[in-house]
Amino acid sequence: MNSLEFLNKLVEESKVLITGGAGFIGSHLVDVLMKLGVRVRVFDNLSSGRLENLNSWLGNPRFEFRNGDLLDVDKVFKAVEDSCIVFHLAANPEVRSSSINPIRHFRENVVTTLNLLEAIRKVGNVKMFIFTSSSTVYGEANNVPTSEDYAPLKPISVYGATKLACEGLISAYAHTFGFKAIIYRLANIIGPRSKHGVVYDFVSKLRNNPKILEILGDGTQKKSYLYVTDCIKAILLGLKRPGEYVEIYNVGSDDQVDVKTIAQIVVEEMGLKQVRFIFTGGVDGGRGWKGDVKNMLLDTTKLKSLGWRPRYNSVQAVRKTVKELLTESTQ
């Protein structure tokens, strides 16, 4: 049974619930599921997501949008009521700001996830729970590329800690209350509709000042960047083989690109000349901020065993994203 057949079997009489479905990754997931004929309910408070990301589906009888916050327990219960698959993408995505307001990140990432799991436990009809975690749960891994069985997990950011806490809660609830869970540890996902991250930041900064670009850190930070459509394919392919109560997959590109190279690509695509790069020097050996993982590359062998391959490498994904962000700004 392939992933689409499995999905259709589970949702014959029920909706798929997507928390954070108006956001960057969430709205791309909505696009694919709607095109596949799935009945979709989005639950989003629009704090970082945008309703315009869902314009193609508003008014479609298979689509429902609910404006709600996962901190509102009553609304969460109502959203879960007739859903048998839950994609939980809602979160505060800002890694850098998690050191400034840790309590906010705990509330918006961990408490919200607990509220959702409690609703699932009490309603009792959800058969599968899909969660987008993060490569930041590994912290500063000694083994790069880093595989899913790497241990011990020592996140160095509050954001990474909240994602790891969510993973623990999901695993406990899945085993205790009898539903399947798939956890995806994502690299840096980029593409159109993104409103945060280094590519978006560089484009925004150069629009404001095309002569100078401030770069956080020393520019040598190397990470994996994956184009969003490759990410969505990975998320849906994981449904093909649900396996044990909890499955964990790394999702990322096969290579890395450093921050200085990203800056050069943005400058090239914007057609700028003689841009002066100013490196802040960063903290803790050239990191962009406290909690910034300087070297990240995920081992995706497990996901590839299901037949997944990324279409774009990191440089291609960055270049394509810059072009699309520039096109978005002119529309």
159 classed as catalytic: yes
10 Å Cβ neighbour count for 252?
29
Cα 294 to Cα 117: distance, rounded to the nearest angstrom: 33
CB contact burial 68-105 (16+ within 10 A = b; e otherwise): bbbeeeebbbebbeebbbbbbbbbbbbbbbbbeeeeeb
Cis peptide before 152 (omega within 30 of 0): yes
Cis peptide before 192 (omega within 30 of 0): no
10 Å Cβ neighbour count for 177?
14
User: Contact, 143 vs 195, CB < 8 A?
Assistant: no
Cα 61 to Cα 38: distance, rounded to the nearest angstrom: 11
Of the residues 138, 159, 227, 312, only one is catalytic, namely 159
Closest Cα partner for 253 from 183, 288, 303? 303
Active site residues: 159
